[in-house]
Structure 1
Amino acid sequence: MQQEKHPDYHPVVFRDRAAGYAFLTRSTAQSEQTIEWDDGQTYPVIDVEISSESHPFYTGKARTVDTEGRVARFERRYGAGDAGEAT
């Protein structure tokens, strides 16, 4: 691997402020802010708006769309399609 062609790949802490969750991983992201991690080392920290800890899909709080219920409600409201039929 040629050193001058690739960005610096180093440990970084990503912090989800909404969930109060942080995780250490490796990334090319840069930050001026730092945080002391559990191992006593200081790492750059990146604040994110949403992560798997706060995203509704991963937390199980996502709403599922009930398409069958919507069709039934439409048919109750506007009829079952017999208004446009010619005899």
Structure 2
Amino acid sequence: MRTDIHPVSRPVVFRDRAADVAFLTRSTARSDKTVEWEDGAVYPVVDVEISSASHPFYTGTSRVLDTAGRVERFERRYGRAAAHRS
């Protein structure tokens, strides 16, 4: 088996600026910026644009499309009989 081919995994803080949330995990991501964590140790920090704390799917703020309005518009445009033919 070949040695020294895998990247080094180390503790890294990922910080979501939009939600003001940070979490510590292991990663191979590199960063020149550092932050002092809750345990007093200094870790590299990677700023991310979106995480599970701010993503609409995970936060429950995703939009629901109005399909009823689309069906009614189709029926008005093409007639109700066109919708039932197939």
TM-score (norm 1): 0.82
The match for 1:31 is 31
The match for 2:70 is 70
Note the aligned Cα RMSD (angstroms): 2.0
Kindly state the Cα deviation for residue 60 of structure 1 after the two structures are TM-superposed.
0.7
Structure 1, gaps ≥5 residues long: none
The match for 1:80 is 79
Distance 1:2 1:10 in 2: 21
The match for 2:54 is 54
Distance 1:3 1:12 in 2: 24
Structure 2, gaps ≥5 residues long: none
- Give CA-to-partner distance per residue, 1:40-87, whole Å, 9 cap, x none: 1100000000001111111111002232431123213x142558xxxx
Percent identical residues:
65
Distance 2:3 2:65 in 1: 49
Kindly state the Cα deviation for residue 3 of structure 1 after the two structures are TM-superposed.
4.3
Report the count of equivalent residues. Answer: 82
In structure 2, do the counterparts of structure 1 residues 38 and 22 end up closer, same or farther at CA, with 3 Å as the change threshold?
same
Amino acid at match of 1:64: V
TM-score (norm 2): 0.83
Amino acid at match of 2:69: G
